[in-house]
Amino acid sequence: MTLRRDFKKLVARRRNEDVIFNIIGITCTLAGLLVLGALLTDLLMSGLSRIDWQFLTSFASRKAANAGILAAWVGSLLIMGITACVGIPLGVAAGIYLEEYAPKNRLTGFIELNISNLAGVPSIVYGLMALGLFVYQFKLGQSVISAGLTLALLVLPIIIVATREALRAIPGTIREAAAGLGATRWQTVRDHLLPYSMGGIATGIIIALSRAIGETAPLMTIGAISFIAFLPAAPFSTFPDGTVAGPFDWLASPFTVLPIQMFNWVSRPQEEFHRNAAATGIILIAVTISMNDVAIFYRYRLRKRIKW
């Protein structure tokens, strides 16, 4: 009887602890949501009325009413294109190699540990490394290509980790069945593992790109311009002196991006520029949420279409 009474007391105490923990968790979650809601409400009230076609198609200006984000969103688009073209193939290929091909020894263990650590390194460190490597060592200058490669290095560990986790989630019986039917390791990866894991890989890629599009510190480190009133030269366009731009001349152009343009406006004392910064923040948040929504939708469609 004494043992049963002690057991009941222990169970009751554990239940009370669970209730207390749930209350604390819900309270913290609601507090975070309330703060986030207040910030978003203030942002919408300040900048929503400023968003119009003129704001999206105008260059930066010393007059807040005439200023726009054309150069900023075009620069963000070009840089994210380079980041995706470089970071996605390298990250997915590295993840596949480490998970499916690399031998399990101390060297690969050391590499895997460092990749996981690099995913949490502050972005300013990547900016300092890119400044010395791309800007000064490779002589790429403070250009679009330097910015794209910097952000590609930033998201590379995230994509590698996401790829490995997506492949690791696939049951080993699929690999064994493919090997039993005579498939090579690459055929197993190409025809079975990649289709089944594509939803998780795509989700990790879009989340990584969502982080990259909001980065400011590494781009400021390599020399992003806070005030720019021109676009990179379009391929085969004609300059005023009669020369024709090459297909890749835009890679060497100076640049700015949405976060840096927003930082420039926030640092000014005029309230009108603060409204412009709030409008830019709304657009940046909308782009980030849209990218995450695409990842969720794409993952849902793949999981629905693929049956184990």
Q: What is the pLDDT along the chain (308 residues), one digit of tens a residue?
A: 566 666 677 777 888 888 898 999 999 999 999 998 888 888 888 888 888 888 888 888 888 888 888 888 888 889 999 999 999 999 999 999 988 888 888 888 888 888 888 878 888 888 888 888 888 888 888 888 999 999 999 999 999 999 998 888 888 888 888 888 888 888 888 888 888 888 888 888 888 888 888 888 888 888 777 778 778 877 777 777 677 777 777 888 888 888 888 888 888 888 888 898 899 989 988 888 887 787 778 777 777 766 55
> Rg of the chain over CA atoms, in angstroms?
25
User: 73 CB contacts (<8 Å, ≥6 apart)?
Assistant: 56, 258, 283
Comparing C-alpha atoms, which of 159, 138, 135, 147 is closest to residue 80? 147
Q: State the CB neighbour count (10 A cutoff) for residue 174.
A: 14
| Residue of 47, 62, 54, 67 lying closest to 281 (CA atoms) | 47
Does the 53-305 domain belong in CATH 1.10.3720.10? yes
Domain boundaries along the sequence of the chain: 2-49, 53-305
Residue type, 64: A
Identity of residue 231:
L
CA–CA separation, 192 vs 291, rounded Å?
26
CA atoms within 13 A on the CB side of 201: 23
The DSSP code sequence of 122-191 is -HHHHHHHHIIIIIIIS---SSHHHHHHHHHHHHHHHHHHHHHHHHHTS-HHHHHHHHHTT--HHHHIII
Return the pLDDT at 300. Answer: 76
pLDDT for 307 = 55
Instruction: For residue 230, give the amino acid letter.
Output: F
pLDDT at 1: 58
Sign of the Cα pseudo-torsion (168, 174, 180, 185, in order): negative
Q: Which of 265, 229, 235 is closest to 248 using CA atoms?
A: 235
Quickly list DSSP for 254-305: ----HHHHHHHHHTSS-HHHHHHHHHHHHHHHHHHHHHHHHHHHHHHHHHHH
For residue 268, is it left (φ>0), alpha (ψ between -120 and 50) or beta?
beta
